[in-house]
A and B are shown apart, each in its own frame.
Chain A
Amino acid sequence: MATSKHVRIGKGISWVALIVGVALGLAAGLVYTWEIDPVIERNTAPWQLSDAAREDYVVAVALSYAANQDLLLAVDRLRAAGPNRNVWEMVAEIACDRVKTGKTISNSDIRVIRALEQLYAPQGASGCADGLYPTPAPMVFSTPEPVMSPTPTLVPPPSKTPTLPPPTPVTAGDVRLTNTPAAGVYVLGRLQSFCDPDQSGVIEVRVYDRRGEGVPGVPVTVTWSGSERDSFFTGLKAEREAGYADFVMEAGRTYTVSLPGLASSSPVVEAVPCTAQDGRRATTSYWVNFQERAN
């Protein structure tokens, strides 16, 4: 009988056909489940995230670590995001990318860079963001300490007929009217940083009334390092704007800008390094606008 071996082996089963069938069926099954009707995407782990999403995730890890200082927890979270790589280098790369892509505009961005560096730098990793935004020294509020003087000096008694100093003549030109507002009149309208090497580290303050016109004569106070302060008035540079005043910061310091009658909290700005679009380095400057409340 002329029958081939593969046709009749065992109990009427063609093993070759069976194997070919299994292979075809398996391939078809996998094509269907992987391509045509795959499992709905959920229960994704952090290592499956895209680069952008992983950056968000790592930023959150860094900020969380900056708050709780729990390094083991941070490592576990980072390993979930990059199981097969050096997690510290991953963090350093993300910090570097954020600097390169200009994500250093706001104070929030700068805090993120600091948090990332705080995470990777102590672990020996390094990147192009190293040291760009050093954490400012903590402000120290100096409180005068009482000094005991062992031998108090007696104050001589006042003379019975004090001599009054001659009155200083006041001319109308010397009187400077200040525009001190009542409490709760102004709110912070705008706080934005910019990088301009020609105006490096400048706080540009503008005060507007409810109609949007500049208000001159408003005293502005800038404080830094806890006890250092400087006060000046808007409108002294009338060639700019009526409600304009500016202040030049010292690099690396944190400044608080306030004015009387401010209803919102006083904005805090930091004189951190920045790179302008033309590549020149400068210190970050700020626009700080205060707006009179509508009612």
Chain B
Amino acid sequence: MAGQDAGWSLMSRRTLGSLLVGILLGLSTGVFLGWGPFPVEYKNSALSALAPHYQEEYTVMVAEGYRVDPEVNAALERLRPLGKENTIAYVIDLTERYISQSNIRAIPIMVALVEAIIGPDNLPPVMQLYRPTPTATSPAPPAP
């Protein structure tokens, strides 16, 4: 009898130990998979949740659309779902970043929108060079 009890005790300890080891293994694997290769994939997301790359592309698309639909308020309304605290400041910052990155394609598009939003007189000096229609007093754009 004593031998049988000892056997059961040994069995339950081994079972319990194996179970705990298994749980630890499974838990670590599950956490790794759930945060790593297979994270939650959200659907029904808002534009504000878009990856920064897509948000910037969206902003450029809206700015480009301003050439077709030249209504500043409509353009700002389209940018509002991005959820920026200050949409105008965001557009200006992005434009300045494109200028610093020499993003030739996006710069004139964005500058045109910034000019429409804040007015030609308030355009930052760095953007004056890239105005679509520079004034006579504007300095000439730098030579390539």
A, B: real partners: yes
- Taking Cβ atoms with an 8 Å cutoff, the residues of A that contact B are 1-4, 7-8, 12-34, 38-39, 41-46, 48-51, 53, 56-57, 59-64, 66-68, 77, 80, 106-108, 111-112, 115
Partner of A45, one of B32, B54, B64: B54
Within 8 A of A (CB), among B78-102: 78, 81
Asked whether A33 and B34 contact (CB < 8 A) given A2-B4, A8-B14, A21-B21, the answer is yes
- Which residue among A49, A50, A107, A111 has the maximum number of chain B CB atoms within 10 Å of its CB? A49
| Distance A7 CA – B9 CA, assembled complex (angstroms) | 11
Label chain A's interface by main secondary structure: helix
The answer to whether A63 and B30 have CB atoms under 8 Å apart is no
How many residues on B have C-beta within 8 angstroms of the other chain's C-beta atoms?
53
- Can you pick out 6 interface pairs between chain A and chain B where the beta carbons lie within 8 Å of each other? A25-B26, A29-B27, A44-B45, A49-B47, A62-B65, A64-B61
Q: Contacts A12-B14, A21-B21, A25-B26: A77 and B39 contacting too (C-beta < 8 A)? A: no
Please give 6 more A-B residue pairs, beta carbons under 8 A apart, in addition to A14-B14, A38-B39: A3-B7, A14-B11, A22-B29, A42-B49, A48-B42, A48-B49
State whether A13 touches B40 (Cβ < 8 A): no
Check B46–A18 contact: CB distance below 8 A. Answer: no
The dominant DSSP class at the B interface is: helix
Q: A46-B54, A49-B47 are in contact. Are A63 and B26 (CB under 8 A)?
A: no
How far apart sit A166 and B14, CA to CA, in the bound complex (Å)?
A: 129
Given contacts A21-B26, A39-B39, A60-B65, contact A53 B45 (CB under 8 A): yes
Contacts of A53 in B (CB 8 A): 45-47, 81
Residue pair B11, A8 in contact (C-beta under 8 Å): yes
- Show the binding face of B for A, using Cβ within 8 Å: 4, 7, 11, 14-35, 39-47, 49-52, 54, 57-58, 60-62, 64-65, 67-69, 71, 74, 78, 81
Question: Are A15 and B23 in contact (CB-based, < 8 A)?
Answer: no
* A-B Cβ contacts below 8 A, count: 193
How far, in whole Å, are A67 and B60 apart by their CA atoms in the complex?
A: 12
Query: B15–A7 contact, CB under 8 A?
Result: yes
A residues in contact with B39, CB < 8 Å = 33, 38-39
Q: B34 — which chain A residues lie within 8 A by C-beta?
A: 29-30, 32-34, 38
Asked if A18 contacts B64 (CB within 8 A), the reply is: no
